[in-house]
Chain A
């Protein structure tokens, strides 16, 4: 034991320079993101991939008796739908629990008592989980490509476009689940986020004139849902992939921009509420 050695402890850096401030911001956010990523990986949340891989490959083999066209169509439809659901479940449950777990387990104190604004924690968590989703998506896409190959189909640019939009949608879901987790418990946040997902996919329906007009009690509620929630169907181009219809690049750009806005809004709101939240 050699306590009390005369080594000098380093001081924290001077954060007055604007460049340094930006650098520090990025560093802390990515450190939190890295830690979150590590945590999700070590908690084995990616086990769902094995299930996905098993189902999709089994399916591609069992469709052997169908014609090539039908086989590829079913594989496209089923594969993209399964990836969407798998990603959704991860985004909802990991996203909702991530912050709640930190707060209830008090590990948030490790970060919240350090000289960083609280929004760094939120953004770091978001990036960390989003990166986990990306990895999940990448591996699932690999298995999807194998199963397509087994069905004598192939991965096209349309698949990449569809997967990109699915990934953007997951970003919206994840940001929303983080927003709800700032305001409520993980369980409630999961329920609200699933409600948001369902409402977002029925946005076209809730906006229908025949439903929002009239004296029904439900009508104003539907109108409100239609106004607040984003239209998540913008990110669903599965039918275009299934029927081999090209997706215009203009559509892609506007859908990605639309998604970016609905990622930023819940994140900014979550940041505002989180700043004042008692931990």
Chain B
């Protein structure tokens, strides 16, 4: 279709703001970050090219290595537990329970809270002298111990607990929509076939819900990469550096430790990692689209 000059101009001018935002904010800022990671910028950005020096420093930085280790533990546990619990909650609600609306709202409620609030609440709950351990002991379980948050080797699991608590409701909502999409007659056919309910879920319903699982997994994964505020508000990376995460590493080095070079190197590493994970998936999706 050929458009006249004026109508083409109006199309271009309508698209221009979005294009500018895209170019300046995303491409521009990302490229600038990548460039900065190749300089020796400290508190203020400069253009002294130092090659991959910052990356070498990064890979020997204890705090960075702990952060990466933590985000892997968090990512695997958080995504799998949130999917599992969210799915089980959805299955529970799908049994035509009474007061379904109320229960659904309660399950979804944590998701309405910011990570900062979630972090604070769970910090109190997990605090040995204030929270669950204290309550259990005051009930007479003198030996009760739940002090994960103050022990370096378990602090990251506390972040997992809080994260799963917050995100399960969202997964539940997505899964419930998927479950409701299963034709009632399939359930009837399965009953006539004599299949037990758990068998129907495992062999028939879950394979039908690929799209729901993929949607939930993608949403959860972005939350893993963004993980920052939970760590700040719950443990502030502690005890020591035991619950540091990559995004917090970047923020701290950018604004507190005045090390722009190292911070941007860390940020670029995160970006490359995400691309390395997502690109094969997108490629596979595109190929699949062609086949159809």
A and B are partners in one complex rather than unrelated chains: no
Q: Which residues of A contact B (CB under 8 A)?
A: none
Q: Which residues of B contact A (CB under 8 A)?
A: none
